[in-house]
Structure 1
Amino acid sequence: MAIGLYDKLTGRNARINYDFNDFSIGVHKKVGSAEKTEWTLNGKLSITTSDGAK
């Protein structure tokens, strides 16, 4: 999702910000396995990107 959005905005002073608070995500236990485990973040994770245009 983020890559497609970023591709559309590239060259337009693009900036994508994600802000997560207290979330859980299912992560594969090992490469190629369908079995997942749940990771929980108790806090804040911020992801910011820009295309570098000034």
Structure 2
Amino acid sequence: MAQNTNIQSWPELAGGLYDKLTGRNAEITYDFKNFKIDVPTEVGSEEKTNWEFNGKLIISTKENDN
């Protein structure tokens, strides 16, 4: 599988993941409890921002009925 090395932002990364899962009826479930992580403000940046998660994050896809 080819990798895209031109990703410039977190939304682009998320969009690429969604595109890969679309049509595969995939579901990813994360269950966080007091999870904290410092994330770069931009891809490749040294500047960080703090993300805090407590609860479930579910990402799912399905094919369109068109």
Large movers: runs of 4+ above 4 Å:
none
Distance across 1 between alignment mates of 2:36 and 2:59? 16
* Letter aligned with residue 29 of structure 2: D
Structure with the higher fraction of residues in strand conformation: 1
The count of corresponding residues between Structure 1 and Structure 2 is 48
**Rounded Cα–Cα distance in structure 2 between residues aligned with 1:46 and 1:26:** 21
TM-score of the pair, normalised by structure 2: 0.45
The runs of 5 or more residues in structure 1 that have no matched partner are: none
Task: Report the RMSD for the aligned CA atoms in angstroms.
Answer: 3.2
Separation in 1 of the partners of 2:29 and 2:54?
Answer: 13
Q: Percent identity?
A: 33
Q: Which has the larger radius of gyration?
A: 1
Aligned counterpart, 1:33: 45
Describe the SS at the equivalent of 1:47. Answer: strand
Q: Quick one: higher RCO (CA 8 Å, sep 6+), 1 or 2?
A: 1
